[in-house]
Structure 1
Amino acid sequence: MIYFDNSATTKPYEEVLESFIKVSRDFYGNPSSLHGFGAKADQLLQHARKQTAEIMGVHPSEIYFTSGGTEGNNLAIKGAAVQHASKGRHIVTSQIEHPSVIEACEELEKQGFSVDYLPVKSDGSVDIEDVKRAVRNETILVSLMHVNNEVGTIQPIKEIGKWLSKHSQALFHVDYVQGCGKIPLSFEEGFIDLCTVSGHKIHGLKGTGFLYIKSGVQITPLFSGGNQESKMRSGTENTAGMVAFAKALRMTEEKRKTSIKHLWYLRNYLYNEILQIQGTVMNTPIDGAAPHIINFSIPGVKGEVLVHALEQVNIFVSTTSACSSRQKKTSRTLTSMGIPREQAEGSIRVSLSYGNSVAEAERFVSAMRNIAEQLSKVIRRSK
């Protein structure tokens, strides 16, 4: 099997699974319990928090464990909106955000907030001048993703954050789910107030992640209950999951330092080879994109047809983001980039991890050539 759908989810490291099992088996006490057995679980949880904070270059008190990207984005956006509604009811985001951002903003619009969904350029990037024009006195939040989950475009987070810090009181939220472990991001240099990370995108377990909340920043919790996570996220803590998350984060960061050139080699090889296949059109920009995502199309052929054709030879890719693919909607990201509808409907996403090999990339290219040739014959006959 060749698994090229790592932006949807990644295979957990064996060490991550082992740590989850060990903690679940030997330290299953409730971290909030007063007895010593619960205290041992709490010590593990706080150690995981400290490890995570050290890797991200922040203070442990700024790390709030969550169930992943969707919860983190909702907590950041809705929590900031509710907390600061008295200061203003205006939010700025972009047209190409993850559904957990777009739909959270749409819900807030129903509650009387106004949202500007910024356009993007043909390469999928937000123009900082559009941010400057959109932000006004009543803007309380700007929310943008670091790496686009469909085409891999890297947004100018540092430049936008720096401008906001000097010209606006708005909080700056960054969805770092796709960038974490591939493209380093300094929360301090980006003047980031809130930042979302998900565990299952970095070879951790599903249902794990964190929201960074900068010291001094206040948002309203979404859950009521036991006041866990410093009253920010009620619910019995997933100790084993968070220990596993910290291990996955550490291992992925180590692999980034030692294997990022390998990932770039795979990306560039695939990018160039795919362009040579007759009928293909590239949607991911050649420059300014992350090393693990390649999006391309065969106009006239539905993306799901390509996905299933590759599946027949045991190669797994996807169309849009995993959260949208089953809805079979045309990619909002691609249409926002100005890509024609027919081309957008024929798109597929190849997403890599450090564990993928050159041999797998070569097999993919060979399979894609055969599939494209067969489909071109079918298209010619139908005409």
Structure 2
Amino acid sequence: MIYLDNSATTRLCAGAIEKMTEAMGCYGNPSSLHSMGLEAQRLLEEARETVCDSLGIRPGSGYSLIFTGSGTEANNLAILGCAAAKQRRVSDRIITTDSEHPSVSKPLGRLEEAGLTIVRLHTRGGVIDFDEYREELLRGAYMVTVMMVNNETGAVYDVAGMFDLAKQLCPGVITHCDATQGYLKFAFTPQKIKADLVTISAHKIHGPKGVGALSVSPEIKKRKAIVPIILGGGQEEEFRSGTENLICIAGFGGAAAEYAPRAEEYAKDIAALRDYTEKKLEELPGIRINRPRGMRAPHIISLTLPGIKSETMVNFLSSKGIAVSGGSACSSRREKVSAALLGFGLERHEAACSLRISLCRTNTKDDVDALCSALSEGIATLVRAAEL
């Protein structure tokens, strides 16, 4: 199988497998005081330190890294946990975009139903209008939550500039960045982008599924501006109760340790392969690349097919041993047009005929050539079938 769906998930790397194997032999509870519990705690904190280092969080900085069960849970903790905190009432407005991941947009929808005001900035062409944004900030906000990289179009949003402006115009505002697709694709730290809360996930960097993390700034902790949404034994500094998933957390650390030292090199190589891929794709009849007008991620390509439904082409390519996506894998089994693609500026019929190709460090030009050959066959075959 030629795997070109790396924004959905990635293959486990050797570093993750090694650390997970080590953790499998340590079945003590990290909260227990006996020797096996202490060994589990050591592995847990070793992984935390490694992931913190990969995110630029230094010892003594006051930042916390809270392990969760997924990036989705980390986003829910950030949004719902801040909404539930007593200290949030500087405003009832949250500013976001019209193209966030469902793990952000759906919790925001729940808060909107409860009476809060959710402002959704336009992202046409993958760019946020700062004049529109400034006007909304001047009306007040207690939170700004914006993704770093759009998981369907690859558009990169200027979260550093947005959060800096928010801090200037809205004292006390909480800034949250879903950096799931940007983590280790771009060099950043929570401090540099002025993010109080940052979401990351292991399985986007060749770590295991079932573990994410949320970084929390010292200011947010001091203000008690976030409260847990899962209650119980008080693990993870009481932000996320439940016995930690040590095996997957260890794998997260292993993946970060392997990826982080060469992240810049990997990003350059992947971007070069992306450019090669787009050049080959544009040689095919009827294909249009949905390029963001601003900055873009190195690993994501969005394209629109000539009148062929995305699920039809996904199934055809799968039969040829090639894996791509019709959009976000979190929603691809439900027949609903992508809000991100509509926000980007596509018409509904165009969004329904769009594919996402997402690359990783192990993909090659041979993979791309095979994809383009299969797409060419599919376009000819499937278009003819639609015309009969």
Aligned to 1:64: 66
Identity of aligned residues (%): 35
2: distance between equivalents of 1:115 and 1:305?
35
Contact 2:40–2:246, Cα closer than 8 Å, also in 1: yes
Q: SS of the counterpart of 1:165?
A: helix
Q: Helix, strand or coil for the counterpart of 2:330?
A: helix
Residue 50 of structure 2: aligned partner: 51
Q: How many residue pairs get matched?
A: 379
CA distance in 1, matches of 2:151, 2:164: 24
**CA-to-aligned-CA distance 1:22-44 (integer Å, 9 cap, x gap):** 2122x211111111221111111
Counterpart of 1:150 in structure 2 is: 152
For 1:9, the equivalent position in structure 2 comes to 9
Residue 230 of structure 2 is aligned to residue 227 of structure 1 = no
Q: Which residue identity does 1:2 align to in structure 2?
A: I
The 2-side partners of 1:85 and 1:348 are apart by 40
Residues 299, 342 of structure 1: 8 Å contact kept? no
Q: Which amino acid aligns with 1:162?
A: D
Give deviations 1:232-291, integer Å, cap 9, x for gaps: 110001222212101111222234233333211210011111112101111233752111
2:214 is the alignment partner of 1:211: yes
2:109 to 106, 119, 123: 106
Q: Which residue of 2 aligns with 1:300?
A: 307
* Equivalent position of 2:205 in the other structure: 202
Q: In structure 2, do the counterparts of structure 1 residues 286 and 110 end up closer, same or farther at CA, with 3 Å as the change threshold?
A: closer
> How much does 1:126 deviate?
1.7
Matched residue type, 2:380: E
1:125 Cα offset (Å):
2.0
Counterpart residue identity of residue 58, structure 1: I
**Structure 2 residue aligned with 1:117:** 120
Given that residues 124 and 333 in structure 1 are in contact (C-alpha distance below 8 angstroms), is that contact kept between their aligned partners in structure 2? no
Give the secondary-structure state (helix, strand or coil) at the position aligned to 1:325. Answer: coil
1:189 aligned to 2:197? no
Please give the root-mean-square deviation of Cα atoms over the aligned residues, in Å.
1.5
Q: Is the 8 A contact 1:20 1:244 kept in 2?
A: yes
1:165 aligns with 2:167: yes
Larger mean Cα displacement after TM superposition, 55-64 or 261-270: 55-64
Q: CA offset at residue 86 of structure 1? A: 2.8
1:88 and 1:138 in contact (8 A); partners too: yes
Deviation at 1:185, TM superposition (A): 2.1
Q: How does 1:1-383 map to 2 (within 5 A)?
A: 1-25=1-25, 27-59=26-58, 61-83=63-85, 84-121=87-124, 123-136=125-138, 138-168=140-170, 169-217=172-220, 218-285=225-292, 288-379=295-386, 381-382=387-388
Separation in structure 1 between the aligned mates of residue 126 and residue 254 of structure 2, nearest angstrom: 33
Counterpart Cα distance in 2 of 1:377 and 1:38: 63
Q: Distance in 1 between matches of 2:110 and 2:28?
A: 37
Please give the alpha-carbon distance, in whole angstroms, between the structure 2 residues aligned to 1:109 and 1:257: 39
CA distance in structure 2 between the aligned counterparts of 1:292 and 1:345, rounded to whole angstroms: 22
Deviation, 1:373, is 2.1
TM-score by length of 2: 0.94
1:88: how far off? 2.0
Q: Could you tell me the TM-score, scaled by structure 1's length? A: 0.95
* 2: CA distance, partners of 1:104 / 1:341: 24
Aligned with 1:197: secondary structure?
A: strand
What is the CA-CA distance between 1:138 and the residue it aligns to?
4.4
| Matched letter for residue 125 of structure 1 | V
Distance of 1:66 and 1:253 partners within structure 2: 21
Cα shift at 1:136:
4.2
1:325 offset after TM fit, Å? 0.7
Check the 8 A contact 2:287/2:304 in 1, yes or no: yes
- Any idea what the Cα deviations from partners look like across 1:124-170, whole Å, max 9, x if unmatched? 22222222111246411000000000010000111112111211121
For the 8 Å contact 1:319–1:349, the answer to whether it is kept is yes
Q: Distance in 2 between matches of 1:375 and 1:13?
A: 36
CA contact (8 A) 1:81 1:89 kept: no
* Structure 2: segments with no counterpart, 5+ residues: none
Q: What amino acid is the match of 1:64? A: I
Larger CA deviation: 136-145 vs 330-339: 136-145
